[in-house]
Amino acid sequence: MRPISLRAHSAALLLATTTVAAALTAGLATAPAHAQSAPFQPEVLASGLSNPWAVAFIDNGRMLVTERPGRLRVVEPQGPDRSGPYRIGEPIEGVPPVAAGGQGGLLDVVPDSQFAQNRRIYLCYSEPEAGGSGNSTALATAVLSADARRLEQVQVLFSQKPKVASRQHFGCRIVEAPDGHLFLTLGDRGSRMEDAQDLGNHIGKVVRIRKDGSVPPDNPFVGRAGAQPEIWSYGHRNAQGATWGPDNRLWLHEHGPQGGDEINRPEASKNYGWPVITYGERYGGGAVTTGITQKAGMEQPLHQWTPSIAPSGMVFLTSDRYGAEWKNHLFVGSLKFRHLARLEVKDGRVVREERLLENLRERIRDVRQGPDGLLYVLTDSGNGQIIRLAPR
């Protein structure tokens, strides 16, 4: 294992954050309001990661972190009481081959809800085409060895169809529902956006499978001619954030084109509109298709950002470690504007937004709640960091 560098953070990193307040209707963004002090101090736990994409907590204060080039590592605290400096382990052996390049590589990682008993994890990554130039989003499961140095019993549970020669829009967030089913977000691959409306493929979809890779019989398109049975919802662009909400529902956000990033709660069989309806436009200007934002039979977003913030990572805070007023608020990272968005949600609607961590000037790739009830963020760069938001 190799040591990490730790960066001291002074009171200068106690952030003045920009709050945003609005009375919202569906699909309308919030507007800026006054600033206030954040109830935390950022603490850098680890640095020197190569474009990390996801962080997940396993045992004894340890974390699994993916690096987009194709490496999975353990990051752990040192010392007899596990409270010393963190260190980054060597790459774990046995990771499936990945098509690393562009937005592709080793992306999400999630431990099984019974990890303490079975040591099982789930990985999402861009899977190369055997003998070809294409790739697709794939979901694999494996058992982490007792010494956490290798993956065993690796099994691919799902591969997106068709494979496409593209380096864009993999989606690739995994959520385990309380009933044990797995949800996986799948991007439109950039060049295949029209396929997001076609149930005959997995492009621009959310899929739902069992932990053995089989299809739940109550999936909405099981038995429908010409439809892929794994599909849960469709009409999505590129969802790089997903989480289970306190309302016992799946939540996700997805990148819009130029504007029109969305938050949605995907429901079985529903169509979320891409690329027919969107609040964004083509890069450089102009309508994506017909330029409409609403159409019968297509769902409106619960919230949208224009201009785009390029969202990534998503979690509801279920603890009161930062005060009761933040409990059940939604946290979303911004790659473009380099902040962490705190969203107050009432009755399924975003009613207030606040920007945190702006002074860090880091692309926020992932945000998770740790077993200690605190928030942890992952920054996306060649010197990626794990940062804990310590209450003050």
Give the active site residues.
169
Q: Coil, helix or strand for 45?
A: strand
Helices (H) and strands (E) in the chain — how many of each? 1, 27
C-alpha 123/C-alpha 308 separation (Å) is 28
C-alpha 21/C-alpha 231 separation (Å) is 36
Q: Which residue, 67, 114, 46, 79, is CA-closest to 386?
A: 46
- The Cα-based distances of 227 to 174, 188, 238, 297, 345 in angstroms read 22, 17, 20, 18, 34
Q: Which residue, 199, 196, 212, is CA-closest to 164?
A: 196
Question: Cβ distance 374 to 326 under 8 Å?
Answer: no
C-alpha 182/C-alpha 197 separation (Å) is 22
Question: Cβ distance 86 to 45 under 8 Å?
Answer: yes
- Paired tokens of 137: 């989003």
Q: Which residue, 143, 148, 9, 152, is CA-closest to 88?
A: 148
Question: Cβ distance 261 to 279 under 8 Å?
Answer: no
- Parallel/antiparallel/unpaired status of strands 171-176 and 151-159: unpaired
Q: Identify any residues that bridge with 73 across adjacent strands, giving them in sequence order.
A: 65
Longest dimension (CA), the chain: 62
Other CB atoms closer than 10 Å to residue 310's CB: what's the count?
18
Q: What is the DSSP string of 330-383?
A: EEEEETTTTEEEEEEEETTEEEEEEEE-GGG---EEEEEE-TTS-EEEEE-STT
Other CB atoms closer than 10 Å to residue 157's CB: what's the count?
18
- Paired tokens of 87: 């260190």
